[in-house]
């Protein structure tokens, strides 16, 4: 994805909520954490399953399958069984819309 992709109206995503979109064949989860927006690939690097349905604790997402933890702000692994970071996407607000772009 080389261009910015419109995701959702910024006012439609409440604090602590997320939305998953198809970004040119890749599932991307976009989160609102305290009014800041972050986007990660919706895949646990431990086993390839989706991760967005996991529990959000602060700025960390807990994988619903095996409990791996990732920082949504940086994509970094915070707890095993995962050892590889999650891919991040750039996020911006443009004309009131949340937009994402591959890093």
Domain ranges of the chain: 5-102
Q: What letter would DSSP give residue 83?
A: -
- Is 85 within 8 Å of 79 (Cβ atoms)? no
Mean pLDDT of the chain: 94
pLDDT digits (tens, 9 = 90+) for 72-83: 999 999 999 999
Tokens standing for residue 20: 């998953």
Whether residue 78 is preceded by a cis peptide bond, meaning omega within 30 degrees of 0, is: no
CATH number of the structural domain 5-102: 2.102.10.10
Tokens 């702000």 belong to residue? 73
Helices (H) and strands (E) in the chain, counts: 0, 10
48-68: pLDDT as tens digits: 999 999 999 999 999 999 999
- What local confidence, expressed as pLDDT, does residue 1 receive? 54
């Amino acid at each position: 994805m080389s261009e910015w992709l419109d995701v959702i109206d910024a006012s439609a995503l409440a604090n602590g909520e997320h939305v998953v979109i198809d970004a040119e064949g890749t599932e991307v989860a976009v989160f609102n954490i305290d009014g800041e927006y972050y986007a990660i690939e919706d895949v646990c690097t431990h086993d390839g399953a989706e991760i967005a349905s996991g529990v959000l604790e602060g700025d960390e997402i807990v994988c619903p399958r095996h409990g791996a933890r990732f920082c949504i702000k940086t994509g970094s692994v915070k707890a095993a069984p995962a050892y590889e970071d999650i891919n991040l996407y750039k996020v911006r607000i443009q004309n009131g819309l949340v937009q994402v772009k591959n890093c």
